[in-house]
């Protein structure tokens, strides 16, 4: 298995982080990975709000309402947003912005994993309350739509390395050959 | 730069493929990568229809209406679907199925890239006509929603190896630090 496959198959959500900070170089690499996915007609219709401030991370966790505790101990939070102003000039891009945001977020999660940095994806869009809260917290312009929050950090000492037990899983019943 | 980062940063959409087929082992690896991403409360709410039959690939291209020509010369097409029956038992999973499908698709694209296999993402959901066409073509049950089509194959001889010129791109104006 090559290293990329190992990264993909071994990734698991990490919810407890150590105090170690993430270097500016690694933050830039993670963001650049986010910018390297496909997007509809190359509209690149996303923006990223990068948060290291501990108080702001707590506020982001509150804004996401539920399941957002990993952010409270994270070294870094990235709010992935869709930039709808970038979809105006491209047919169909507005329809696909949410998919393009997910591609960017998954690329960042895998880039982080390859650097030994754990992550947890916190769903925001399309839950209206979470979207409204994050938009208010960051005073976002109307064309910028909160999509997802990624909590990042080095795994805490008691997070075992390697994949989750039972991973990688193979669900044969989820694969259909040629026809349904 | 580690191998995972190279895979992420070098990936480009490939629209012209050689006649070389993809081995069953590699197809399974690609699908397993699709199953290795995070999903909302681990609902794993996707299904994959895997198509190698040339006539069916042409029909899939017609069903996706526009921009689907890469599928006509592909060795493999994967219709990524959301399985809404798997979201019934999990709070919020229904809201996030479209994001979970995108995560699965991007994992498969990166797994393929790491194996030297090119791909092109063809958007389906949420364009109603495309969703309806693919559902009709495969006679899908109502709880299975077409999400995206991935065309895969070894790149044609005249597709230059390596990243697209200008890649990886870094859009500094798309990154906001601590505040918008």
| Distance from the Cα of residue B41 to its chain's centroid | 22
Mean pLDDT along residues A129-152: 98
Structure-token pair, residue A89: 């000039």
Residue of B nearest to A80 (CA): B175
First and final C-alpha spacing in chain A: 30
Chain A residues touching B166 at Cβ < 8 A: none
Question: B103 and A99 in contact by Cβ < 8 A?
Answer: no
Instruction: Verify whether the Cβ–Cβ distance A35 to B4 is below 8 Å.
Output: no
User: In the prediction, which pLDDT does A94 show?
Assistant: 82
User: What pLDDT, in 10s, does the model give residues A71-94?
Assistant: 999 999 999 999 999 888 776 778
ipTM value of the model?
0.96
Quick one: pLDDT at residue B94?
A: 82
pLDDT in tens, B70-115: 999 999 999 999 999 988 877 677 889 999 999 999 999 999 999 9
pLDDT of B82-94, one tens digit each?
A: 999 988 877 677 8
Banded pLDDT at A168 (limits 50, 70, 90): confident
A19-152: which CATH number, 3.40.50.2000, 3.20.20.80, 3.40.109.10, 3.20.20.70?
3.40.109.10
Q: Using a CB–CB cutoff of 8 Å, tell me whether B159 touches chain A.
A: no
Model's pTM, two decimal places?
Answer: 0.97
Cα–Cα distance measured from residue A100 to residue B78, given in angstroms and rounded to the nearest whole number? 18
Taking the Cβ of residue A174 and every Cβ of chain B, the question of whether any pair is shorter than 8 Å is answered with yes
- Measured between CA atoms, the residue of chain B closest to residue A141 is B180
Looking at residue A66, its pLDDT comes to 84
In this model, does residue A113 exceed pLDDT 80? yes
Tokens describing residue A135 = 């938009």
**How much is the pLDDT for B113?**
98
Indicate the CATH number for domain B22-156.
3.40.109.10
pLDDT confidence of residue B97: 94
Residue in A with minimal Cα distance to B177: A50
Q: Does A92 touch chain B (CB under 8 A)?
A: yes
Q: What is the mean pLDDT of chain B?
A: 95
Of B13, B35, B98, the CB nearest to A98: B98
Start-end of H helices in B35-86: 54-63
Least confident of A40-44, A96-100, B146-150: A40-44
Q: Measured between CB atoms, does B2 come within 8 Å of chain A?
A: yes
């Amino acid at each position: 298995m090559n290293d990329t496959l190992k990264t993909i198959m071994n990734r698991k959500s990490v919810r407890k982080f150590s105090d170690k900070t993430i270097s500016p170089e690694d933050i830039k690499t993670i963001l650049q990975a986010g910018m390297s996915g496909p997007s509809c007609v190359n509209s690149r219709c996303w923006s990223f709000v990068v948060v290291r401030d501990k108080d702001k991370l707590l506020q982001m966790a509150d804004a996401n309402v539920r399941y957002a505790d990993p952010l409270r101990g994270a070294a870094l939070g990235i709010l992935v947003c869709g930039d709808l102003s970038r979809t105006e000039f491209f047919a169909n891009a507005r329809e696909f912005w949410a998919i393009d945001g997910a591609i960017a977020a998954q690329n960042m999660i895998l880039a982080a994993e390859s650097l030994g940095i754990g992550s947890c994806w916190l769903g925001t869009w399309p839950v209206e309350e979470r979207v409204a809260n994050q938009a208010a917290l960051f005073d976002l312009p109307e064309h910028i739509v909160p999509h997802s929050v990624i909590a990042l950090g080095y795994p805490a000492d008691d997070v075992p390395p390697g994949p989750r037990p039972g991973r990688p899983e193979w669900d044969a019943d989820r694969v259909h050959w040629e026809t349904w």
